[in-house]
Amino acid sequence: MPLILSRLVLDPRDHAARRDVANPYAMHQTLARVFAEHPDAPPARFLWRLEPGGPFDQPTVLIQSDRAGNWERLPPRYGHAQSKPYDPARLLQTGRELRFRLYANPTRALKTEGESARRGRRVGIHDDGEALAWLDAQGRTRGGFTLCRLERAAVRAGEAFWSDSAASGETQAPTLFDVQVRRSRWRFRKSGADAATWLTFDAACYEGRLEVTDPERLLQIIEQGLGRGKAFGLGLLSVAP
C-alpha cells in the first residue's frame, strides 16, 4: 500500500516549533493531532524524524504516514508541510543497493546472574563499532538487508581509504561498512501529568548504503519502523536509489 511522505519545515521564530525541536515527546504530541481523525481519537500510524542539518538550516521534519495529515491543526506560524505519495516497494529488488538514512536506538541485553541474555535489561550501545554491528544484525536477522561494505579498506587517522594488502604486507585487509554513524544521547521530559518523568535514549544516526536481500521483510521494516522509541523520532528507515 502506498504511503504518504511529508516534509515539514519549521519556523524557528515560533515558540511551539522551538519547544518541539528540543523535546521529541512534545513533537510527537503535535504530530499526533495532525494524524487523528478528531481530537479524542488515536492517530493513524506515522513515523517521523528530525532531519540532520547545519546551524543555519531551518529545522525540517520528515514524516511517513498511512494517510494524509490535517496540517491545519498545527499551531499558527509553526511551519509549512508538503506531502506526496510514497511507494518504497518499487525500489526493493533483491540484490539492489540503495542509499539509506535512519535514526535508531541500538541496544543490547545486559545479562544478570540467573537470567538469559535475551531477557536481560536493555541498555544503550555507546560504541560506533557495536552500533554498526547492531544494525547489521538487525538487517540480517529480520530486516531483509545487509549493510554494504568497503572492500579492502583500511583505517588511518579515522578515515577510510583504499589500500593494497600486498604492498602493506597484510594477508587480508580489514573491511568497513559503507555507513557513517553519529551517536548522541537524548534526554527530555514528558509533559502533562507526567512532567516529572525523564526519558533517555541512546540514539544513532546512520547514513550509507544497504543491499536488499528480502524485499518483503525490508518493506515491512520501512512501514513499521526499526527498533525502539518510534514515537520519539526514531525508527524511520528511508531509502533512495
Task: Give the pLDDT confidence of 172-200 residue by residue, as tens digits.
Answer: 444 578 999 998 888 887 766 566 678 88
Nearest CA-CA partner of 238 in 212, 213, 207: 207
**How far is 80 from 71, CA to CA, in rounded Å?**
8
**How far is 136 from 144, CA to CA, in rounded Å?**
10
Locate 194 and state its grid cell.
507526567
Which amino acid does the sequence have at 135? L
pLDDT reported for residue 170: 45
Locate 6 and state its grid cell.
511529508
* Cβ-contact 80, 8 below 8 angstroms: yes
Higher pLDDT, 194 or 34: 34
Q: List, for residues 217-241, the tens digit of each pLDDT value.
A: 999 999 999 999 999 999 999 999 9
**How far is 219 from 73, CA to CA, in rounded Å?**
30
Q: pTM of the entire structure?
A: 0.83
What phi, psi does 73 have (nearest 5°)?
-85, -5
* Cβ-contact 22, 33 below 8 angstroms: no
What is the rounded average pLDDT of the residues 132-145? 94
DSSP type of residue 74: S
pLDDT reported for residue 167: 40
Nearest CA-CA partner of 234 in 180, 194, 184: 184
Helical pair 24-34 and 15-22, crossing angle rounded to 10 deg: 120
pLDDT reported for residue 114: 60
3-state secondary structure of 54: coil
* Cβ-contact 196, 66 below 8 angstroms: no
pLDDT reported for residue 53: 77
3-state secondary structure of 217: helix
pLDDT reported for residue 157: 41
Q: Which residues, 6 or more positions from 196, have their beta carbon under 8 angstroms from its beta carbon? A: 189
Q: What is the DSSP string of 128-142?
A: HHHHHHHHHHHIIII
Question: Other C-beta atoms within 10 Å of 190: how many?
Answer: 15
What is each CA distance from 200 to 5, 10, 24, 96, in whole angstroms? 27, 24, 11, 36
* % of the chain surpassing 70 pLDDT: 81
- Tell me the pLDDT of the chain averaged across its residues: 85
Q: Where are the alpha helices (DSSP H) in the chain?
A: 15-22, 24-34, 128-138, 165-168, 215-224
